[in-house]
Amino acid sequence: MKLERLLGIIIYLLNHETVSANRLAEKFEVSIRTIQRDIESLNFAGIPITSIQGKNGGYGIINGFKLEKQIANTEDYQFIITALTGMSSAYNNKKLEGTVEKLRSIFRQEQSVKSKVKLDFSVSREGSNINNYLGLIDEAVNKEKVIEFEYTNTCGDKTSREAEPIGVIYKWYAWYMLGYCCNKKDYRMFKVVRMSNLRNKEKSFSMVHDSFDNLLSRQEKQDIRRYMDVKLSCKEEMRISIEEYFPNASIIVKEDGDYLYHFRAPDNEMGWKGLLFSFANKIKIIEPDELIKEFLMKAEEITILYK
């Protein structure tokens, strides 16, 4: 157990510039004193770990140090292959496919551990231009070239945009591109399926951008969308469906056996509203009043259409 922890500490320090003793203790679920003894053991073993004092201090490994021996075992390779195979089901990339093939050729020597987990994100490829657009964005990111496209927002308004793409992320069951919008002079998240007529321009980026991870973290913290607090009730027969599509909802079982759900959702996103509408009379919206009025208006419009 200690040997695994020591190896884990080395790998963690290699992946982070400076790590406090508190963070290492939390990460490996041991006391700070145990971490201090582990650091001493690693230093005695010849691992060049430095100690930095002060408010932002901690432990770090001297730049240039690398682990030259193979540290991944058969099970590690299986996890890596499973993750990359799942990624390749969502993202059509020849380099990615080549990486998976290389790992499989290594792993083929050891078949004692068989994966019982499969990741299939092929639904993310749905849409006539998704694969093509992801390839164009990837090329623009690597070459640091501006792209232009038409973008349709959630209200149906279409605008022409130029952007400096930083990277793509698959979340909320869809592909999104993070980029610097040349029109708005700010970073924006663009839903790829809402893009059309996307093409690369022979124009270089106007500036050096921060890393994808840092920009993505900042963008998520600056979520300025208006959210709606929704309360609805349903019978036992709808419980599984509600919990499947709204896993973060809080649940209260009422005295009559019905279920009361409470969740927050972006006001201008139509996906979750359409899902609730498809449940028809199997659910009842309790709050807010504006959502109830919106659903009554939609029901009336549908009734008028088919009269």
Entry field: residues in the chain:
307
Task: Please give the mean pLDDT across all residues of the chain.
Answer: 84
pLDDT at residue 160, as a whole number: 95
List phi, psi (to 5°) of 196: -150, 155
Q: What is the pLDDT of residues 265-283, one digit of tens each?
A: 888 777 788 888 888 889 9
How many beta carbons lie within 10 A of that of residue 215, not counting itself? 17
Q: Which two tokens stand for residue 200?
A: 């690369």
pLDDT at residue 233, as a whole number: 92
Say whether pLDDT at 57 is over 70. Answer: yes
Q: What is the pLDDT of residues 165-201, one digit of tens each?
A: 999 988 767 889 999 999 999 999 999 989 999 999 9
Which overall architecture, per CATH, does domain 227-305 show?
A: 2-Layer Sandwich (3.30)
Residues in CB range of 188: below 8 A, 6 or more apart = 163, 178, 179, 180, 181
Percent of the chain with pLDDT over 90: 30
CA-based radius of gyration for the chain = 25
Reported confidence tier of residue 68, pLDDT bands at 50, 70, 90: low
> Of 49, 50, 48, 39, which Cα lies nearest the Cα of 2?
39
One-character DSSP codes across 186-249: EEEEEEGGGEEEEEEEEEE-SSPPPPHHHHHHHHHHT----EEEEEEEE-GGGHHHHHHH-TT-
pLDDT at residue 70, as a whole number: 54
pLDDT at residue 199, as a whole number: 94
Q: Which two tokens stand for residue 272?
A: 């979750």
Q: Which CATH number fits domain 2-61: 2.60.200.20, 1.10.645.10, 1.10.3470.10, 1.10.10.10?
A: 1.10.10.10
- Top CATH class, 130-221: mainly beta
Residues in CB range of 2: below 8 A, 6 or more apart = 38
Spell out the domain ranges in the chain: 2-61, 74-123, 130-221, 227-305
2-61 and 227-305 agree in CATH topology? no
Say whether pLDDT at 112 is over 60. Answer: no
Q: What is the pLDDT of residues 140-168, one digit of tens each?
A: 999 999 999 999 987 788 999 999 999 99
